[in-house]
Amino acid sequence: MDPIKFIIILMVIVFGVYFVSGGWAENLGELYRNYKQSNLTFSQFWKSIIKKGKK
């Protein structure tokens, strides 16, 4: 097997395990909880996240 193909397959498996194990679900759940607790409108909430990311 070509080493490049092996590395690509290995990366796909690692990312697949991360997504299946719930890493993405935990992050989205935390983001949703923060949105609900902030009492901001949806657009205000995203603007505040973007501002925090630029700092």
Report d(CA 36, CA 30) in Å as an integer: 10
Give tens-digit pLDDT for 12-50.
Answer: 887 777 666 666 667 777 888 888 898 888 888 888 877
- What token pair was written down for 53? 């990311």
Task: Give residue 25's pLDDT.
Answer: 65
Query: Any residues with CB less than 8 A from the CB of 42 and at least 6 apart, and which?
Result: 35
Which helix (H) or strand (E) segment is 39 a member of? none
Predicted TM-score (pTM) of the model is 0.46
